[in-house]
């Protein structure tokens, strides 16, 4: 395990050039900036706040109703309003015990879903930030490799030109070396464009058109296998599936409670028009559940529970599959990058240098030298691709496991 982390530290440190921390933008700072300024954060926070408002509303009692009536204040006898029979009443709707608590439980379930979805969106932004940050660093590293290859092509052209001037080789070799130089120059221009694009894509996450800071080489350390296993129960993806089942169960309890209708109590006073006698009124209103017993809503709620449970099983199955796939991909990418760095790249550099010296001594042809340089360039490209694949799979794995940052930092 110690050897694994030692190799990874060297791998992470070599992913980009070291830049002054005072003027650079770290991955952690970039992530904080994205979480603070990306519109998705405001959207998720607003949706969670709206769900909190529905919890409050679910616990509110219905308002009482005040009623005032006039009877017999007009007709053939031309009665005035003062001769009318007046009735004042106050009514209040009541629910049977358990119905209001069922509404609150359902609203709280929706609030829990909104909170978990907010957390999942934050994790998605963290993963996206890390991916684009690493893309920008990889583009920066590819540009540095292109600059080194251009310098190598220039040195090769100088060596070939000297041998042509000495009459040791044909001028055709100088033309071949010139073509290789032009190709290296074109590749450098292309990598400059790719670096600008990668930096713009990163800056776009917090609403900027371009990146004004340089990037630091502070890459995160992946969790150990034991830490990965410890986070299996913490992931919002699994919690979301569980909460959907609980929310649908709460919806069923509410639908069953609403099979019994609310009733209304009324109390008031009536004053007769002629005798001016006053009398008290008391009444109750209860809907008769003759046709509508909320049977359709109950059936729908039961079906929704079955669907949520099926989705829960599917999410758990896909989660385990993705976890295993990402763990395998991450380990394979790391091993490939370590092998390319420690064996292939080192050997390719040695072969290129030996071939250049041999060419100067007349032991190798120009084609041998160009082939050695091409192998070195391909090895560098494969190494960068393996490192990029490693960090991308690690970022996706962190999101899947619900880790805010691989190094334990939480935002």
Give pLDDT, residue 224. 56
Q: Answer yes or no: is 94 within a domain.
A: no
Alpha carbon distance 405, 233 (integer Å): 17
Give pLDDT, residue 407. 44
Full residue range of the structural domain in which residue 377 is found: 2-62+100-257+301-401
Q: Answer yes or no: is 19 within a domain.
A: yes
Print the SS3 string covering the chain. CHHHHHHHHHHHHCCCCCCCCCCEECHHHHHHHHHHHCHHHHHHHHHHHHHHHHHHHHCCCCCCEEEEEEECCCCCCCCCHHHCEEEEEEEEEECCCCHHHHHHHHHHHHHHHHHHHHHHHHHHHHHHHHHHHHHHHHHHHHHHHHHHHHHHHHHHHHHHHHHHHCCCCCHHHHHHHHHHHHHHHHHHHHHHHHHHHHHHHHHHCCCCCCCCCEECCCCCCCCCHHHHHHCCCCCHHHHHHHHHHHHHHHHHHHHHHCCCCCEEEEEEEEECCCCCCEEEEEEEECCCCCCCCCHHHHHHHHHHHHHHHHHHHHHHHHHHHHHHHHHHHHHHHHHHHHHHHHHHHHHHHHHHHHHHHHHHCCCCCHHHHHHHHHHHHHHHHHHHHHHHHHHHHHHHHHHHHCCCCCCCCCC
Alpha carbon distance 86, 131 (integer Å): 75
Q: Answer yes or no: is 34 within a domain.
A: yes
Q: Provide the whole-model pTM.
A: 0.79
Count: domains in the chain? 1
Strand 214-215 versus strand 278-285 pairing type = unpaired
Q: Answer yes or no: is 86 within a domain.
A: no
At 349, which CATH number? 1.20.1600.10
Give pLDDT, residue 405. 52
Give pLDDT, residue 8. 40
Alpha carbon distance 24, 17 (integer Å): 11
Q: Give Cα separations from 223 to 218, 220, 290, 332 (angstroms).
A: 16, 9, 62, 16
Torsion-angle region of residue 129: left (phi > 0), alpha (psi -120 to 50) or beta? alpha
Q: Answer yes or no: is 91 within a domain.
A: no
Q: Answer yes or no: is 282 within a domain.
A: no
Q: Answer yes or no: is 167 within a domain.
A: yes
Question: Per-residue pLDDT for the chain (411 aa), expressed as one digit of tens each?
Answer: 434 434 443 444 444 333 333 457 888 889 999 999 999 999 999 999 999 999 999 999 999 999 998 887 665 555 555 667 889 999 999 988 789 999 999 999 999 999 999 999 999 999 999 999 999 999 998 999 999 999 989 998 998 999 899 888 889 989 999 999 999 999 999 999 999 999 999 999 998 877 777 776 544 445 555 666 565 556 888 999 999 999 999 999 999 999 988 999 999 999 887 667 889 999 999 998 889 899 999 999 999 999 999 999 999 999 999 988 998 898 898 889 889 988 999 999 999 999 989 988 888 888 898 899 999 999 999 999 998 898 899 889 888 888 765 443 333
Q: Answer yes or no: is 273 within a domain.
A: no
Give pLDDT, residue 163. 86
């Amino acid at each position: 395990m110690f050897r694994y982390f030692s190799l990874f530290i060297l791998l992470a440190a070599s992913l980009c050039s070291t830049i002054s921390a005072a003027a650079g933008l770290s991955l952690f700072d970039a992530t904080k900036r994205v979480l603070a300024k990306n519109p998705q954060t405001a959207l998720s926070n607003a949706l969670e706040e709206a769900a909190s408002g529905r919890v409050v509303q679910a616990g509110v009692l219905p308002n009482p109703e005040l009623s005032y009536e006039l009877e017999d204040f007009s007709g053939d006898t031309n009665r005035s309003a003062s001769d009318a029979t007046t009735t004042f009443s106050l009514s209040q709707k009541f629910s049977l015990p358990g119905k209001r608590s069922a509404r609150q439980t359902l609203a709280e379930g929706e609030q829990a879903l909104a909170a978990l979805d907010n957390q999942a969106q934050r994790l998605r932004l963290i993963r996206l930030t890390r991916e684009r940050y690493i893309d920008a660093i990889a583009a920066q590293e590819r540009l540095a490799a292109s600059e080194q290859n251009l310098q190598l092509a220039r040195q090769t052209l100088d060596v070939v030109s000297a041998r042509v001037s000495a009459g040791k080789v044909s001028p055709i070799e100088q033309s071949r070396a010139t073509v290789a130089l032009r190709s290296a120059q074109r590749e450098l221009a292309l990598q400059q464009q790719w670096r600008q694009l990668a930096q713009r894509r990163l800056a776009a996450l917090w609403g900027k058109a371009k990146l004004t800071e340089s990037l630091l080489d502070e890459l995160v350390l992946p969790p150990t296998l034991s830490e990965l296993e410890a986070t299996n129960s913490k992931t919002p993806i699994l919690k979301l599936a569980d909460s959907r089942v609980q929310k649908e169960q709460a919806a069923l309890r509410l639908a069953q409670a609403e099979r019994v209708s609310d009733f209304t109590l009324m109390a008031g006073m009536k004053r007769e028009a002629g005798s001016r006698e006053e009398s008290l009124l008391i009444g109750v209103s209860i809907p008769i559940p003759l046709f509508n017993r909320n049977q359709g809503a109950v059936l729908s709620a039961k079906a929704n529970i079955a669907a949520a449970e099926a989705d829960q099983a599917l999410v758990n199955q896909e989660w385990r599959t993705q976890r295993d796939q990402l763990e395998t991909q991450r380990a394979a990418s790391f091993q490939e990058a370590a092998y390319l760095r420690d064996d292939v790249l080192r050997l390719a550099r040695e072969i290129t240098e030996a071939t250049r010296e041999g060419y100067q001594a007349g032991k190798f042809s120009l084609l041998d030298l160009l082939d050695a340089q091409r192998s070195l360039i391909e090895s560098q490209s494969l190494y960068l691709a393996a490192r990029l694949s490693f960090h991308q799979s690690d970022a996706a794995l962190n999101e899947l496991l619900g880790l805010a940052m691989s190094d334990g930092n939480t935002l």
